[in-house]
């Protein structure tokens, strides 16, 4: 649980930092190309310095490259949505991926239908909707922004499911990050070239934002997210990860001077409650089964 909470903490600052980088003059293409190139460089430098054996099976390599293709969808669509929606709102809406992840996990047989998890998902999504709710009409929810954010949610769900595949269970997490990021890095460099955008930041301010996004919002978050999925599964990680939009909301207040609304506080309480409930679910189920067996024996 600690890994996903730390990943959520750093990832939650991504919307605000990304939008600040846009204000500093970075294009989406330059930001993504330089960010993933730096992350890839950090990952493989770590592998080299620690002398980690990077040999994996061809089938595992192909599978990791497939995950990289899926991650392109996550990165492109979520960052595209930041151009049309407030960063904190986009971050909240993308967490509809929690339900998609649980549904896919049940359909492929990786998870069994579970009432407690269902309640957790319901609490989380209700909390997200409350945070994103805009009764005063002060936020313009762009159609293109909404399409982008929900496509990001779909790809994010696939990403979480694929990371939990048994084929990756014995591979070092840093290798997963290193191989997976080859695809989005290559894609975004080519995208920069085609769009005739600079490959790297053009000012010190832009470089600082790219550094923060690469090290804290990409490298560390992906590493910890991988560890969390391996330890507690895709759906559990997804549900706990819904703490992220709560932190993102406060990050928006801190860095972009967003205003905290009453319904956002209530939404945050519901999301935190869902995490506490999920964390206690094994004890609750054990107690219920124990009582059932106890009555049978009587």
Q: How long is the chain?
A: 298
Residue 291 has pLDDT above 50, yes or no: no
**CB distance 270 to 239 below 8 Å:** no
CA atoms of 36 and 88, how far apart (whole Å): 22
pLDDT, residue 13, reads 75
Burial of 203 (0-12, 13-18, 19+ CB in 10 A): exposed
Q: How far does CA 170 lie from the centroid of its chain?
A: 22
* Residues 6 or more apart whose Cβ sits within 8 Å of residue 15: 82, 86, 87, 88, 90, 91, 248, 251, 252
Give the residue, 135 or 8, on which the prediction is more confident: 8
Residue 181 has pLDDT above 90, yes or no: yes
CA atoms of 152 and 146, how far apart (whole Å): 10
Residue 235 has pLDDT above 60, yes or no: no
- Gap between the terminal Cα atoms of the chain: 38
DSSP string, 204-249: HHHHHHHHHHHIIIIIHHHHHHHHHHHHH-HHHHHHHTTHHHHHHH
CA atoms of 77 and 148, how far apart (whole Å): 5
pLDDT, residue 138, reads 46
What percent of the chain clears pLDDT 70, i.e. is strictly above it? 67
CA atoms of 223 and 176, how far apart (whole Å): 8
pLDDT, residue 207, reads 95
Q: For 43-81, what is each residue's pLDDT tens digit?
A: 999 999 989 999 999 999 999 999 999 999 988 898 888
Q: For 250-266, what is each residue's pLDDT tens digit?
A: 655 665 555 556 666 67
CA atoms of 80 and 234, how far apart (whole Å): 25
**CB distance 294 to 286 below 8 Å:** no
* Residue 151 in tokens: 């496509």
Residue 3 has pLDDT above 90, yes or no: no
Residue 108 has pLDDT above 90, yes or no: no
| DSSP classification of residue 167 | G
Q: Of 2, 14, 44, 3, whose CA–CA distance to 225 is shortest?
A: 3
* Residues 6 or more apart whose Cβ sits within 8 Å of residue 27: 195, 197, 198
pLDDT, residue 14, reads 77
pTM for the predicted model, two decimal places: 0.71
Q: Of 148, 6, 9, whose CA–CA distance to 74 is shortest?
A: 148
Q: For 164-178, what is each residue's pLDDT tens digit?
A: 888 888 888 899 999
């Amino acid at each position: 649980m600690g890994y996903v909470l730390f990943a959520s903490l750093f990832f939650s600052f991504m919307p605000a930092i990304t939008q600040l980088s846009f204000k500093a003059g970075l294009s989406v293409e330059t930001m993504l190309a330089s960010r993933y190139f730096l992350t890839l460089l950090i990952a493989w430098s770590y592998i080299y310095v620690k002398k980690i054996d990077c040999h994996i099976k061809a089938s595992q390599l192909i599978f990791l490259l497939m995950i990289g293709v899926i991650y392109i969808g996550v990165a492109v669509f979520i960052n595209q949505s930041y151009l049309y929606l407030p960063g904190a709102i986009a971050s909240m809406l993308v967490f509809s991926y929690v339900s998609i992840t649980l549904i896919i996990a049940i359909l492929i047989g990786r998870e069994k239908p579970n009432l407690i998890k269902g309640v957790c998902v319901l609490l989380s999504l209700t909390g997200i909707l409350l945070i994103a709710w805009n009764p005063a009409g002060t936020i313009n929810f762009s159609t293109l922004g909404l399409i982008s954010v929900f496509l990001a949610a779909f790809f994010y769900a696939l990403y979480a499911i694929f990371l939990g595949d048994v084929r990756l269970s014995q591979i070092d997490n840093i290798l997963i990050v290193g191989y997976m990021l080859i695809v989005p890095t290559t894609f975004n460099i080519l995208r920069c070239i085609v769009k005739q955008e600079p490959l790297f930041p053009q000012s010190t301010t832009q470089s600082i934002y790219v550094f923060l996004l690469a090290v804290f919002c990409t490298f560390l978050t992906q590493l910890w997210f991988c560890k969390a999925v391996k330890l507690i599964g895709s759906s559990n990680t997804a549900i706990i990860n819904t703490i992220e939009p709560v932190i993102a909301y406060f990050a928006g207040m801190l860095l972009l001077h967003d205003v905290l609304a009453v319904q956002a506080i209530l939404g945050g309480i519901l999301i935190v409650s869902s995490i506490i409930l999920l964390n206690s679910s094994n004890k609750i189920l054990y107690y219920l089964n124990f009582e059932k067996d106890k009555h049978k024996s009587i």
